[in-house]
Amino acid sequence: MASASDITIQGDVIRQLKDKATGLTVTVGGTIVLAVLLLIFVYLFAVTMPLLKSASVEKKDEFTFALSGNTVHIGVDNLQSSVFRYSDNGKLSVFDPKNPKTSVKVLSLSDNASSFFALPGKKTITAYGQSDGSVVFNTLSLPVPGEKTAPTAAVAYPSIQLTDGKAVEAVTFGLKSGGLTLAGLVDNQVIIVRNSGTTNIFSQVLDADKFTKILLTQDGSVLFTLAGDQLRRFTVRDSGLTLTDSINLKKALNSQPVNLSLLSGGSSLLVQTADGQISQWFEVLEDGKRRLTLIRKSENSKPLTALSSEAHHKAVVGLDTSGTLSIWHTVSEVLSRFSFPELKGVTHIGLSTSSRVLVSEQNGQWQLYKIDDPHPDVSIHSLWNKVWYENYPAPAFVWQSTSADDNVEAKLSIFPLLFGTIKVAFFSLLLAIPLAVGGAIYSAYLMPTRVRNVIKPTIELMEALPTVILGFLAGLWLAPIVEQNVLSVLLLVIGLPLTFVLAGFVWGKLPQVWSQKWALHQHLYLLLILIAVSGTLLFYLGQWLEWVWMAGDAKIFLSNHFGIHLTQRNTLVVAIAMAFAVVPTIFTIAEDAIYSVPRHLTNGSLALGATHWQTLRNVVLLAASPGIFAAAMMGFGRAVGETMIVLMATGNTPLVDWNILEGLRTLSANIAIEMPESEVGSSHFRVLFLTALALFAFTFFFNTIAELVRQKMRDKYSAL
């Protein structure tokens, strides 16, 4: 028979085994959680890293192939299977760079060419000005790799006679659905013709001392002329030309202008100067008028010999006299330089429509280069700073990942999303923390146990309510009520807390004979009556003020008099709904912290003559402050990461404005909206992962700081 000591020893062994097993389980579980968090961070960082990769240019091929005439324009297809060259003798040559001599096809486009122009864009449409005063138009169709097709140059538009018997020295044109706009330089006169396909809508002549460059936008709506240092901008309409701007470029840029070109889309003008500088100009609305404005400049150390704009991105590729190739992205403001000695002296370069292949030619010497620049529009500057986008009146933070036009630059500023996240968290906690902490104080310190046992589980049960239901109710039920009674709701949000403060002040001034008639737990009934009465009065006061002061329409009044725009799904709506979701979290943790304060502390304080309020303020709240702070930070983390409420109740407009009556977009909601539609591996896709990484780092940082502060506060007040 086992003795008592044997049983005790056996029990101790079992207990030790259980302790070790429990400790091991906790250790392994905690390690797994930390490892998973680390893996999440590593994965997000790995997907985001390619955004930081800079552009690279690699030489792929070089060959010698001489053709007749002087080169005026060259290009290459995306697969490097076809290279084409336009010459000043009106010939178009197309060949395979792998075997140029046997594959070359020469097409005659003009017998008496005097000038040339290639329409910038995704299609190769060209015009030859001729010595007899006419202009012919052609479009190039390249052979399809793997198919036995030959290159063709079809007539893109009927020829137009600008003048009789005089050579067209320079030509430019623009196309749109209504027809073609053509400008030609003849005997130092610019002749403008707008043609509908069969007839000329108008024809006009411009005179100047000496024109050096003429350029029409892609749709033919704007004409730029350069005469010496003077740049002039004309608006082209069916009724004729209207001069809208005249700028001395040498004075504006401190250098002599030498060439004009267009950025992709045709909204921006690029001015090239003699010292190698490239400047971007576009229209900006000033004082009700659209003015051509200098936006930004790219500094190059040496003069440029060739320039080509990318078809799909707001970028331009330049080549200087030393053979340095530069790629300048106007949105990201990134300038990349690559030195190729073999390009020294080259005056012609061309890009494929994908901008991934570059071809150069000089005196029959050809080079092909591969450009690797997968995320040209993304940089630290474009993600976090204001960017001056085309047709915007000033630099701005803008998130607009998609647009109706491929020529519109991507706008991927993360700042509006981060701002919206902080904004919704701030306003929701502004409502939630006083309610939750105040309720926790009353429940843990003043409320009778019988009532507390009902109230506390009820509030905790609110946390089980799905946030999609809260978002649904906020967007479809609460938002219309707030829109129709905005002044009343604002008065309730501001007036009710002030009413409580005023009531407390008045209660403190009452004679003790009156106040002592009510037990502490009976104050709840007085507060409920106060809430009902004051809430009703404030609501109807708001309606009365709206009718008397705002002519019955607060929305129009706020917009006209204060510039405050009210949208139905706004920050106020989502703050109320978010507060409803966050209150249970803050209340539960704070209430447990206050309730756990040792009773001997409160009893000792009361025994020394302190009042209940003095005891609460100087003893209970100090001892429970680490838990209350942790509760507030947990609520902050919940508000920052919330998705469904902000997704359904904010309107999801990425604005940078503290106006509580306008919408917003948060990091989490933006990921939920746009991730299913993003192309895997694209800049948009990786920027979305960057926002996820920012959200992860944001919450991790604040939770870590909160834990450190909580620990410090606990150590400080643990001696109480």
Q: What is the pLDDT of residues 76-117, one digit of tens each?
A: 998 888 999 999 999 999 999 999 888 899 999 998 999 999
- Residue 207 belongs to some domain of the structure: no
Average pLDDT of the chain to the nearest whole number: 87
Judge whether 530 and 503 are in contact, CB under 8 Å.
Answer: yes
Judge whether 510 and 549 are in contact, CB under 8 Å.
Answer: no
Query: Which tens digit of pLDDT belongs to each residue from 361-401?
Result: 988 999 999 999 888 888 888 999 999 998 888 999 999 88
pLDDT at 397: 93
Q: Which phi and psi angles does 251 have, rounded to 5°?
A: -70, -35
Whether residue 469 has pLDDT greater than 80: yes
Residue 514: both structure tokens together: 């009156």
pTM for the structure as a whole: 0.86
Host H or E run for residue 309: strand 304-309
Mean pLDDT of 630-637: 88
- Residue 214 belongs to some domain of the structure: no
Q: Which phi and psi angles does 78 have, rounded to 5°?
A: -70, -30
**Strand 315-320 to strand 324-329: parallel, antiparallel, or no bridges (unpaired)?**
antiparallel
245 vs 124, 182, 231, 293, 394, CA distance in Å?
30, 20, 8, 10, 19
pLDDT above 90 as % of the chain:
39
* CA 640/CA 419 separation, integer angstroms: 11
- Residue 480 belongs to some domain of the structure: yes
- Residue 495 belongs to some domain of the structure: yes
CATH code of the domain containing 454: 1.10.3720.10
Angle value at C-alpha 259, between 257 and 261, nearest 5 degrees: 130
Q: Which of 363, 273, 270, 276 is nearest to 310 (CA)?
A: 270
* CA 114/CA 112 separation, integer angstroms: 7
pLDDT at 520: 62
Q: Pinpoint the alpha helices (H) of 510-620.
A: 512-515, 523-549, 554-562, 571-595, 599-607, 612-615
Provide the domain count of the chain: 1
**Strand 257-262 to strand 240-248: parallel, antiparallel, or no bridges (unpaired)?**
unpaired
pLDDT at 339: 92
* CA 535/CA 35 separation, integer angstroms: 51
pLDDT at 440: 92
pLDDT at 92: 94
- Residue 613 belongs to some domain of the structure: yes
Residue 422: both structure tokens together: 């902080």
pLDDT at 604: 87
Whether residue 405 has pLDDT greater than 80: no
* CA 162/CA 229 separation, integer angstroms: 27
- Residue 236 belongs to some domain of the structure: no
663 burial via Cβ count (<10 Å: 0-12, 13-18, 19+):
buried
Host H or E run for residue 136: strand 134-141
Whether residue 426 has pLDDT greater than 60: yes
pLDDT at 257: 92
Q: Which of 272, 177, 176, 179 is nearest to 224 (CA)?
A: 272
Judge whether 344 and 374 are in contact, CB under 8 Å.
Answer: no
Residue carrying the six token digits 């003849």: 186
* CA 64/CA 83 separation, integer angstroms: 13
- Residue 640 belongs to some domain of the structure: yes
Listed in sequence order, the residues at least 6 apart from 289 whose beta carbon sits closer than 8 Å to its beta carbon are: none
Beta pairing partners, 304: 320
Whether residue 19 has pLDDT greater than 90: no
Mean pLDDT of 539-548: 87
Judge whether 229 and 253 are in contact, CB under 8 Å.
Answer: no
Mean pLDDT of 189-197: 85
Beta pairing partners, 338: 325
Whether residue 638 has pLDDT greater than 60: yes
pLDDT at 521: 62
Which position has the higher pLDDT, 445 or 511? 445
- Residue 675 belongs to some domain of the structure: yes
3 three-class SS: coil
* CA 122/CA 120 separation, integer angstroms: 7
Query: Which tens digit of pLDDT belongs to each residue from 555-598?
Result: 888 888 887 888 888 899 999 999 999 999 999 999 988 988 88
The side-by-side arrangement of strands in the sheet containing 240-248 is 213-216, 222-227, 230-237, 240-248
What radius of gyration do the chain's Cα atoms show? 36
Whether residue 406 has pLDDT greater than 60: no
Q: Pinpoint the alpha helices (H) of 162-277.
A: 249-253
Residue 137: both structure tokens together: 């138009």
Judge whether 579 and 431 are in contact, CB under 8 Å.
Answer: yes
pLDDT at 130: 94
Give 11's pLDDT tier (boundaries 50, 70, 90): low
* CA 651/CA 571 separation, integer angstroms: 9
Residue 624: both structure tokens together: 């429970």
501 three-class SS: helix
State whether the Cα torsion 103-109-114-118 is positive or negative.
negative
Q: Which of 178, 186, 198 is nearest to 162 (CA)?
A: 186
pLDDT at 86: 95
Judge whether 298 and 274 are in contact, CB under 8 Å.
Answer: no
In this predicted structure, which of 14-23, 196-205, 529-538, 562-571 has the lowest mean pLDDT?
Answer: 196-205
Whether residue 463 has pLDDT greater than 70: yes
Domain that holds residue 421: 415-717
